[in-house]
Amino acid sequence: MTDPRQHSPAAERNRQPILEVLQRVLPARGSALEIASGTGQHAVHFAAGLPGWTWQPSDLQADALASIGAWCARADVGAPPTNLRPPLRLDVMAPDWPVPEPVDAIFCANMLHIAPWPTCAALMRGAAQYLAAHGMLITYGPYLVDGVATAPGNLAFDESLRARNPAWGIRRLADVTYEAARVGLRLREQIAMPANNLMLVFERTGQAQQQAHSGPA
């Protein structure tokens, strides 16, 4: 039988640096929803490294869901972490997500630059709706930062993305934080990561709590 697990060398390289940030910024216990989990390598690693957290991976693509499910069932860390849930089919652009109760954290890596720009606003609206009152949205990936020279590698990556799909491309940090602020999410921390990436930690404000009760705009 063919192993449906996909393997991303980048996910293999960045999973530990990301986990170390998550271990620092997250409390000891909680529930997390991972958006666009991709291969599933991150989900297995983070669930194992955050034993006090329930980790819910998700994706829209059928092949990704199959890969995530296979990684969850055949984790290379030994027995699959008991705090790792089966993958959930989730469309970020949908007005309602299949999330039965608020979560303490939403994590999203490397999605915004390989999706049309409206996906950013949809992610922020969903976070405002489904995060618990004390919850955090944490994103990872490359960003263009005003006033800071962009690394040549990121410039070349951005050019290649736009050649593949004109709707793709590395996003300006200022634009992302603006979309977050529109629904009451405040950028609390910006963390430099290897390979010219950033982790952004957003937290809810009172406006976001109101947004959660009223539903997405």
Supply the CATH number for residue 150's domain: 3.40.50.150
Q: What is the dihedral of CA 23, 24, 28, 32, to 10 degrees?
A: -60
Residue 21: how many other CB atoms lie within 10 Å: 16
Give the containing element (helix H, strand E) for 187.
strand 185-193
pLDDT digits (tens, 9 = 90+) for 14-73: 999 999 999 999 999 999 999 999 999 999 999 999 999 999 999 999 999 999 998 888
Written as one letter, the residue type at 106 is I
Mean pLDDT of the residues in the chain:
91
Kindly state whether residue 3 falls inside one of the protein's structural domains: no
pLDDT digits (tens, 9 = 90+) for 87-126: 999 999 999 999 999 999 999 999 999 999 999 999 999 9
Number of domains, the chain: 1
Kindly state whether residue 138 falls inside one of the protein's structural domains: yes
Average pLDDT over residues 163-187: 97
Domain that holds residue 169: 9-214
Kindly state whether residue 154 falls inside one of the protein's structural domains: yes
**What pTM does this model have?**
0.91
Confidence of residue 207 (pLDDT cuts 50, 70, 90): low
